[in-house]
Structure 1
């Protein structure tokens, strides 16, 4: 059994013997050194996985998910959405909901109650969803396809390859050059499923997952695993005959690290399911808004088309807000921030970043022509339960700062704004 270390964002890891909690945990020296080397590759790409604090301490950044080290340590990083340090099951449930909603992943579970019953690390939950979807697919039946085979035989089968037969040397004229079709399950979709299943068999530690994975593996033994992942993904068909393959596809892509916001690359091919928390929060809020807005309103994620200024006959510094809502001629610009605000700390501007306000002001000038409402959305916490009073930019443009409750899935204070919401 590989050791599992469950912590949350900004937790501190150490090689010293310390009492374990969600904010502080002990890891092996080999795992510590590997994380330091991994952080160097992140830093070269302009990001940071951890902050090194001396020779014995690391501080995690705002990535969540699962990371497996070469020594076998599996690090589970959960969102830090509440202050209590005894919220392991609650944090796992939240992360699963956010991953599922943000990536638009289907599930065959009955509902939240089923999620709570499976109190296992996030990686095991992902693998369970894939196995359930694959089990359902196999019960419906795999898709076979005809594959053209050209070979030399002592008997005729299919078509005679006349051109190749005429080139036969005199000593081999008794053999036939033939071509024929075989009806086989060896096609791109099935090869990808076999590859994902092999990875699950190698990494799962939950007994139910292990048993189901090996049962399904026995049914796919005649299918070779994919060796050209990108080419096979492009060849995955989405026509009417492949409808029953659609529920398993996103889980398959997740397992083989093709749909991850961030996957760890390198010589070590361990389990890697890492998500930048700010992107996960942004997509989660966008998914909620799509359901909450009326049919007359249109939501655009990562809107483009506007620039900060013109220069030398062109435009420069593209402005790209997270969310843009439009209904008729009216527009609203929304941006999500995975930051912790404190409404009691007025002297420090509640923890608000001045650069974020400059950014929102630029969005308002270009997308709203200086007239309308802007909304900043932060996660709700004990110190930030209600919407702040609006901030005025003058000339008919104001900014709202609203908390989003991740537990009840509700945008607090949205009724004070003019943003259209379905009743």
Structure 2
């Protein structure tokens, strides 16, 4: 069954249509599973909306869904109108690499590759590469206490149990000893993830490498309690070489994801909200360009909109809060395509976002200074908009972030005192 590749807000139907990135046909079994998946969700945003008896519309989530019937649906970002999945897939891989907190060079490397395979194969390939490098450095072994009956004395004799030994077993000794084994939580999780990849991959290179590595780990047992073993994962200095493989292991085993698909079916299914991916990517980029003495706070929770009966109500949480000395800049990121040529339609900006920024400006900046709403750069939004005067001394800027060039575009004159970022020009960072 061929994978279906679509993008955000695409329509899926059981009717016969020509498959595109915005409209595709799915089997009835996959359609029913998707509808049931939405009904079983108890938290997080909506994954889809049912439009009719045989049609549904996806929401702003990206990732991979695999139905029990074997239909794989890859959902890509809707960043441009081109009917070509490869640029969108490359962008999504770069955003996911950033969301997994990978080192900057690894995240950048992900964005420079040519992506001609589905997202799930890319993730499995990254896991296998990281696991191969780990095995070259060697698995971490640990001592495991073993208690058994033996004909020979080894380690310590368990005197209490030996005294209770029945006469017909007098020739056997109850002993305790330590065995130096690789059977520890981290390795059991890697084994389980590797087994999953070996079963599900359809890429020839991933299949070959996964089976080669399976031979190396054939003596290891797979994890029987994934959640418990993740809690026992050590991150001390002796486990530094395990850090690159951990996020990919978590991703494959559906642990610690922004949104993952749970249930009886255990196919490879994981979804990321694009709003969160975009926010994480911008925050990570700004953090790498901070000047000395400046700091970035994400999801600050210092103020609330009001107090009621002595308690704070309606917490104010700007996505990004830049600080340098006693100056602050509140910022929010929005994954939405603006149209700078339509001022009559307010450029597509939601009025509620302005109310929210006005509250941030008063509580976090004392009603003075500059704030920013950051949107992805698009065909109709390639330059910063003129500033919005909230009140005297409080301005709101609407800025584009260029995801291809990986830079935040600034106006020619932000203020007399610019952002505390390392910049090379007044136009772009």
Residue deviations 1:190-243 (CA, integer Å, cap 9, x gap): 001001101111211111101110111111111111112222112212222222
Residue among 253, 268, 273 paired with 1:276: 273
The alpha-carbon deviation at position 171 of structure 1 amounts to 2.9
Is residue 168 of structure 2 the alignment partner of residue 168 of structure 1?
no
**1:14-25 alignment runs, 5 A limit:** 14-25=13-24
Question: Which residue pairs with 1:361 in the alignment?
Answer: 358
Question: Which residue pairs with 2:218 in the alignment?
Answer: 221
Question: Which residue pairs with 1:257 in the alignment?
Answer: 254
Residue deviations 1:339-392 (CA, integer Å, cap 9, x gap): 121112222111111111111111111111111111000111111111111111
Is residue 28 of structure 2 the alignment partner of residue 29 of structure 1?
yes
- Secondary structure of 1:129 counterpart: helix
C-alpha distance in structure 2 between counterparts of 1:217 and 1:93, whole Å: 29
C-alpha distance in structure 2 between counterparts of 1:134 and 1:101, whole Å: 19
The alpha-carbon deviation at position 415 of structure 1 amounts to 5.0
**1:9-408 alignment runs, 5 A limit:** 9-42=8-41, 44-45=42-43, 47-85=45-83, 87-106=84-103, 111=109, 115-116=113-114, 118-408=115-405
Are 1:7 and 1:25, in contact at CA under 8 Å, matched by a contact in 2?
yes
The alpha-carbon deviation at position 114 of structure 1 amounts to 5.9
TM-score between both structures, scaled by the size of structure 1? 0.96
The alpha-carbon deviation at position 77 of structure 1 amounts to 0.4
Residue deviations 1:278-331 (CA, integer Å, cap 9, x gap): 000000100111112212210011111111111112211111110000001110
C-alpha distance in structure 2 between counterparts of 1:238 and 1:113, whole Å: 27
- Secondary structure of 2:260 counterpart: coil
Are 1:3 and 1:72, in contact at CA under 8 Å, matched by a contact in 2?
no
More displaced stretch, 146-155 vs 411-420: 411-420
C-alpha distance in structure 2 between counterparts of 1:95 and 1:252, whole Å: 19
Count of paired positions: 419
- Secondary structure of 2:371 counterpart: strand
Residue deviations 1:80-127 (CA, integer Å, cap 9, x gap): 111222x211111100111111221257699368611x4101111111
Q: 1:269 to 1:326 in 2, by over 3 A?
A: same
The alpha-carbon deviation at position 164 of structure 1 amounts to 1.1
- Secondary structure of 2:62 counterpart: strand
Provide structure 2 residue ranges, at least 5 long, that are not aligned to the other structure. 424-429
The alpha-carbon deviation at position 175 of structure 1 amounts to 1.5
C-alpha distance in structure 2 between counterparts of 1:194 and 1:278, whole Å: 33
Are 1:67 and 1:271, in contact at CA under 8 Å, matched by a contact in 2?
yes
- Secondary structure of 2:144 counterpart: strand
Are 1:339 and 1:378, in contact at CA under 8 Å, matched by a contact in 2?
yes
C-alpha distance in structure 2 between counterparts of 1:318 and 1:308, whole Å: 6
Are 1:322 and 1:335, in contact at CA under 8 Å, matched by a contact in 2?
yes
C-alpha distance in structure 2 between counterparts of 1:187 and 1:414, whole Å: 54
The alpha-carbon deviation at position 169 of structure 1 amounts to 2.4
Are 1:388 and 1:400, in contact at CA under 8 Å, matched by a contact in 2?
yes
Question: Which residue pairs with 1:419 in the alignment?
Answer: 419
Provide structure 1 residue ranges, at least 5 long, that are not aligned to the other structure. none
C-alpha distance in structure 2 between counterparts of 1:197 and 1:109, whole Å: 22
Are 2:334 and 2:374, in contact at CA under 8 Å, matched by a contact in 1?
yes
C-alpha distance in structure 2 between counterparts of 1:307 and 1:112, whole Å: 39
Q: 1:206 to 1:422 in 2, by over 3 A?
A: same
Q: 1:191 to 1:375 in 2, by over 3 A?
A: same
Residue deviations 1:11-62 (CA, integer Å, cap 9, x gap): 11111111111111111111111111111123x4362111111112111100
TM-score between both structures, scaled by the size of structure 2? 0.94
